[in-house]
Structure 1
Amino acid sequence: MEYLTDRITLDERICNGKPSIRGKRTAVQTILGFLCAGEAAEEILHQYPSLEKEDITACLQFAAELMNRSYVLRTVA
């Protein structure tokens, strides 16, 4: 398992290798999707009782950090 932050992990055996929260079977993408849909952090925590408020914050920080990277668009044949 690789730690991307203190709360975000990568493990090819969990969530098909997608970033997850503390090695649990909850993908960062899932939490971000709930937040994008307008779900309140408190409701997400109710639905996922093993998570902590800091986990949700870590998901947002992780997504923000990804936006700090440079990207190149290429034409694919």
Structure 2
Amino acid sequence: MNTILKRITIDDELCNGRPTIRGLRITVQTILEFLLTGTSEEEILHQYPVLEKEDLEACKQFAIQLMERKYTLREMAA
């Protein structure tokens, strides 16, 4: 968790409050989408030279930690 807190930041003034990597304008979602489409970590690091391998790992760990939470779906009136 400590690595995640150092690398994943949430700021209402940056990227509409979406989680970003180290306060850069690169969202966790962007990196996860690249990984899910099969883009290699090496290619992501080439395309985003400001990123480090640890940033990619922090994105994956962040997603895993979100899935560890309990969620409840509620119907909302239309």
In which range does the TM-score fall when normalised by the shorter chain?
over 0.9
The residue aligned with 1:6 is 6
Verify: 1:27 aligned to 2:22, yes or no.
no
TM-score (norm 2): 0.91
Runs of 4+ aligned structure 1 residues displaced above 6 Å come to none
- TM-superposed CA distance for 1:15, in Å, is 0.9
Q: Which has the higher contact order (CA 8 A, sep 6+)?
A: 2
5+ long unaligned stretches in structure 1: none
TM-score (norm 1): 0.92
Separation (CA, whole Å) in 1 of partners of 2:73 and 2:12:
27
Code of the aligned partner of 2:43: E
Query: Percent identity, aligned pairs only?
Result: 61
The residue aligned with 1:53 is 53
Instruction: Give aligned pairs, total.
Output: 74
The structure with the greater share of residues assigned to helix is 2
